[in-house]
């Protein structure tokens, strides 16, 4: 009985982690409600989950809103841009699907490939926005290179995302936890992929991502410290 009620018991540790994912999930959903805040909300969501995957303990709500505020200006524009591209491609795919065969089938496949590419880049983009001070174009280029350079992990993240959306379609009430679980799976892979570019947990030094993804020295001085 003493082991059962011991807070260090693996069961209670797991429940504590699930509760953290639930809190992150709810905060993300609530902060996405105004729609235009999807960008900073998603960046903050990945910020806390990647930190969790790296073993950086913190207070979920505090870290979430810290990142949300820090990335608000850039995240709003970036999030709306990514959302607009995704909606545009989804609408085109749907229109081609209901327009018949022939040339429409070709364009449906074409837009489907672009949609998968968009989804792949999106998976990496918000984690990069959360953890690095880079311009939007730099984030997109880097996200594309990471997606193409890690096809196995990218496919797994896309597959799990699709599975999570399917589960929410079947049982809408699970939307309060499913995205937290999906994000947790993503964050474990992302933390591993981004490990060479992130500072050690015990240091404050940020490594340079790629030689051509740089910001000027003056610009870096005027921006926030490493996130």
In tens, the pLDDT along 6-48 reads 555 565 567 778 899 999 999 999 999 999 999 999 999 999 9
Rounded CA gap, 178 and 183, in Å? Answer: 8
DSSP bridge partners of 210: 213
Helix (H, G, I), strand (E, B) or coil at 213: strand
- The pLDDT value given to residue 202: 53
For the chain, how many residues are written?
Answer: 227
Please tell me the least confidently modeled range out of 35-39, 117-121, 166-170, 215-219: 215-219
User: Could you tell me the pTM of the whole model?
Assistant: 0.83
For the CA atoms of 181, 160, 54, 115, what is the dihedral angle to 10 degrees? -120
Task: With H, G, I as helix, E, B as strand and everything else as coil, classify residue 11.
Answer: helix
């Amino acid at each position: 009985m003493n082991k059962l009620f011991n807070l260090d018991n693996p069961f209670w540790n797991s429940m504590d982690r699930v509760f953290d994912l639930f809190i992150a999930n709810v905060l993300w959903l609530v902060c996405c409600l105004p729609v235009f805040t999807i960008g900073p909300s998603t960046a903050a969501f990945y910020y806390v989950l990647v930190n969790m995957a790296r073993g950086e303990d913190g207070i979920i709500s505090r870290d979430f809103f810290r990142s949300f505020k820090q990335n608000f200006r850039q995240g709003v524009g970036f999030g709306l841009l990514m959302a607009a591209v995704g909606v545009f491609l989804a609408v085109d795919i749907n229109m081609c699907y209901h327009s018949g065969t022939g040339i429409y089938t070709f364009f449906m496949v074409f837009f489907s490939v672009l949609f998968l590419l968009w989804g792949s880049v999106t998976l990496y983009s918000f984690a990069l926005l959360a953890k690095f001070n880079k311009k939007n174009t730099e984030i997109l280029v880097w996200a594309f290179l990471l997606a193409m350079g890690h096809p196995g992990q990218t496919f797994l993240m896309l597959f799990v995302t699709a599975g999570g959306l399917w589960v929410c379609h079947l049982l809408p009430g699970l939307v309060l936890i499913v995205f937290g679980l999906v994000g947790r799976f993503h964050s474990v892979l992302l933390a591993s992929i981004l490990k060479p570019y992130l500072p050690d947990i015990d240091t404050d030094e940020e490594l340079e991502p790629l030689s051509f993804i740089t910001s000027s020295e003056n610009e870096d001085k005027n921006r926030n410290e490493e996130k």
